[in-house]
Amino acid sequence: MPGSSTSNDVLIIGGGIMGLLSARELQRAGARVTLIDKNKIGTESSWAGGGILSPLYPWRYTDPVNALAKWGQAQYPIIADTLTRETGIDPEWTASGLLILDNLQPDEHNTIATWAKTFDSKLDLLVKNDIRRCEPVVNSKFTQGIHMPDVAQIRNPRLVKALKVALLAAGVNIIEDTEVTDIVVKSNHVTGIKTPSGDHVADHIVVASGAWSTQLLADINVTIDVKPVRGQMIIIDAQPGLVSKIILENNHYIIPRRDGQLLVGSTLEDVGFDKSTTEEAKQLLQQAAMALVPTLEQFKIKHHWAGLRPGSPKGIPIISAHPDIKGLFINTGHFRNGVILGPASARLLTDLITAKRTILDSKPYTI
């Protein structure tokens, strides 16, 4: 590691998917890593998310988002397999396929075709009967659709759990329930962090603190455009096999887990750091699910929760060294797509810290 000392090679603030995957890549690259979280590891957005391994309507995103997603899509089956072997926890990577039922604008078809060619992605245009053949329980009112057979999902709460177990086994130092109150900078170089239970020395610090990254950085006069965007989800306790595809319409989706539970998401709410749930959102999500699959009327809602996404302009994350503060790195702002963008973001960050050739052009993600 460039500039390493007797301190931790790298201290990562935030044990969500971004911190966990970054810790894994850095540890594999030979760094001594400490991962610190104000709560238990993996209990914020990375737990709350849906685990769809593609941006929704990916052609509506910029190439920098799609480039990270494409890299992650190739890696996820390997990550899931390795973690299952290493930890006995199966994060249930499943190639469910994605069925989109929106009425698209005529001019969107060209954009979709260009996107599919650029990112070598399979999709089939469906009309009425094809839709029911693809997913028999779908409401018969839908007359057009797009099937993306290669889109997969992962059970993100299990993914973060498995990552934590794997990191501990690999010797990563994990500190939970400890809030970082300050990043210490001396002569334009990070030297460590402060917490209520003591200080830690580090010559590389990664801010992977999700929606909370902005405040932590503002305290050392670093400005980023990342803010919390609340997302609410429900689980409907249905039967295994009732729904097999991820189904999406008008930004609402159903994700079928292997055990028959159906996750229904999600809302996009600008309410600051308020993580409470609302009756209105619960009803909206239930109605959206029933509009997609009418038989869901007979099943009960099992759980309802909210998480805070690290929202950023156009969903383009910041994966970057700070240009003026030596040793300061940032990996945040993944908005709606942190699970799928995680593997490439973590590798790119590691390439930057270890001064290796980067897997992707790092410019679009620079602070």
Interface residue with ligand FAD, options 31, 338, 360, 367 (CB under 6 A): 338
Interface residue with ligand FAD, options 27, 45, 73, 312 (CB under 6 A): 45
According to DSSP, the residues that pair with 236 across neighbouring strands are 262, 301
Interface residue with ligand FAD, options 9, 25, 44, 135 (CB under 6 A): 44
CB 297 within 8 A of CB 327: no
- Rule CB under 6 A: say whether 37 interacts with ligand FAD: yes
Nearer to ligand FAD, 54 or 191 (CB): 54
Q: How far is the CB of 140 from ligand FAD (least distance, A)?
A: 27
- Rule CB under 6 A: say whether 209 interacts with ligand FAD: yes
- Rule CB under 6 A: say whether 25 interacts with ligand FAD: no
- Rule CB under 6 A: say whether 327 interacts with ligand FAD: no
Residues 6 or more apart in contact with residue 266 via CB below 8 angstroms: 50, 231, 232, 233, 251, 252, 253, 285
- Rule CB under 6 A: say whether 19 interacts with ligand FAD: yes
Enumerate residues 159-178 that contact ligand FAD by CB under 6 A: none
Q: Which amino acid is at 84?
A: T
Q: Which stretch binds ligand FAD (CB under 6 A): 12-20, 57-65, 96-104, 113-121?
A: 12-20
Query: How far, in Å, CA of 161 to CA of 89, rounded?
Result: 8
Nearer to ligand FAD, 63 or 106 (CB): 63
The C-alpha torsion from 266 through 271 and 275 to 281, rounded to 10°, is -40
Query: How far, in Å, CA of 178 to CA of 40, rounded?
Result: 9
First vs last Cα of the chain: how many Å apart? Answer: 22
Query: How far, in Å, CA of 230 to CA of 293, rounded?
Result: 25
| One character per residue 290-309, x = contact with ligand FAD (rule: CB under 6 A) | -----------------x-x
Query: How far, in Å, CA of 134 to CA of 144, rounded?
Result: 12
- Rule CB under 6 A: say whether 332 interacts with ligand FAD: yes
CB 51 within 8 A of CB 255: yes
- Rule CB under 6 A: say whether 216 interacts with ligand FAD: yes
Q: How far is the CB of 133 from ligand FAD (least distance, A)?
A: 26
Nearer to ligand FAD, 61 or 212 (CB): 212
Q: How far is the CB of 95 from ligand FAD (least distance, A)?
A: 15
Neighbour order of strands in the sheet with 261-265 = 124-127, 144-148, 98-100, 246-249, 252-256, 261-265, 227-237, 301-311
Binding site for ligand FAD (CB under 6 A): 13-19, 36-39, 44-46, 48-52, 179-180, 208-212, 216, 231, 233, 265-266, 307, 309-310, 332, 334-340
